[in-house]
Amino acid sequence: MTTFLEKNLTGEIDTREIPTDRDANTNLVEVRKLNITRNKVLLLEDISFNIKTGEFVGLIGKNGVGKTTLLQAFIDGDHRKIYQGDIEIAKIKFPAKSIRESAKLVAYVPQLPHIPKQMLVCDYVMLGRLPYQNYLGNMSIADLEITKEVLAQLDLANFSNRVLGELSGGELQRVIIARALVQKAPFLVLDEPATSLDIYHQLMLLELLKDLCKSQEMTIFCSLHDINLAAQYCDRIIMLGQNKVLADNIPSQVLTRENIKEAFSVDSQLHTVKDNLVVIPRLFTNPYSDQFRGRK
């Protein structure tokens, strides 16, 4: 608690961040032989992968294949019984020795966040500072500074006194990401953050995430439904198949006709337009065509 006191007295910016090795070629995240069992059924088996510091890794796969469950391996809490295996973040075994320490390592943006509609934006964003606050004391100046800085960075400075219920989808998504960013964790996990956004806001969001990786050396692991967005923005893609990692490589290596067929059961055409990989997916058979119905 002395650090908290010192910080409160001097009002300096929080220096208690988890020490991370900022060398670009070191692994921030190491997952070794992770088995995930849900309702006594093995969902994912023997999952191993690394994520380097500053890397933007996408996670793609069919609905129900275990994307969300895999991402939730990076949350400490009551649900951890379903995970067996080793996870290390910044050379610290995860979950860390307390749930607060874990929250300093990983920030999480869920797929369907609970939005307390009456809560003020600043109060909501400030929740991300909870792992750094003691129970009886007031917030430190550093907490306020960091929150202000993040709100400004995400173009939310004028929103701090608005209530969450009034915000548009794009604004709300930024507020939720702001809450995760004030956690000052080196590793940011997002579960389908782009799904409910229009094209403009999807691109804005992914540019933001990309920028976080580049300018602040955040490391991002993010599930996406849109494989073209994933191809466009991710440094690397992890593709989940039935019970396993189907492919784990740069986008052009992962997104092949065979892989897409196995992962999503769809056919696809692949084109390269000005160095951008474009996937045009289509069904093998149209279940609603006359021909198909006739055969039935």
* Nearer residue to other proteins within complex by CB, 115 or 266: 115
Rule CB under 8 A: which of 103-142 touch other proteins?
103-104, 106-108, 110, 113-120, 122-124, 126-128, 130-131, 133, 135-136, 138-139
Instruction: State how far the Cα of 149 lies from the Cα of 140, in Å rounded to an integer.
Output: 14
Sorted by sequence, the CB contacts under 8 Å of residue 54 that are 6+ apart come out as 24, 213, 214, 217, 218, 219
* Nearer residue to other proteins within complex by CB, 159 or 233: 159
Cβ at position 109, least distance to other proteins in Å: 9
Interhelix angle 169-181/141-153, rounded to 10 degrees, is: 140
> Does residue number 79 form part of the binding site for other proteins (CB under 8 A)?
yes
Q: Report CA dihedral (257, 263, 268, 269) to the nearest 10 degrees.
A: -40
Cα angle 221, 172, 120 (rounded to 5 degrees) comes to 120
> Does residue number 100 form part of the binding site for other proteins (CB under 8 A)?
yes
Rule CB under 8 A: which of 175-214 touch other proteins?
179, 183
Cβ at position 52, least distance to other proteins in Å: 22
**Burial class of residue 113, CB neighbours in 10 A (0-12, 13-18, 19+):** middle
Instruction: State how far the Cα of 125 lies from the Cα of 131, in Å rounded to an integer.
Output: 13
Rule CB under 8 A: which of 148-167 touch other proteins?
148, 151, 160-161, 163
Helices (H), 13-159: 67-71, 99-105, 121-126, 141-153
> Does residue number 92 form part of the binding site for other proteins (CB under 8 A)?
no
Number of residues that bind other proteins (CB under 8 A): 47
Instruction: State how far the Cα of 202 lies from the Cα of 44, in Å rounded to an integer.
Output: 29
Cβ at position 27, least distance to other proteins in Å: 22
* Nearer residue to other proteins within complex by CB, 147 or 259: 147
Residues that bind other proteins (CB under 8 A): 72, 75-79, 98-104, 106-108, 110, 113-120, 122-124, 126-128, 130-131, 133, 135-136, 138-139, 144, 147-148, 151, 160-161, 163, 179, 183
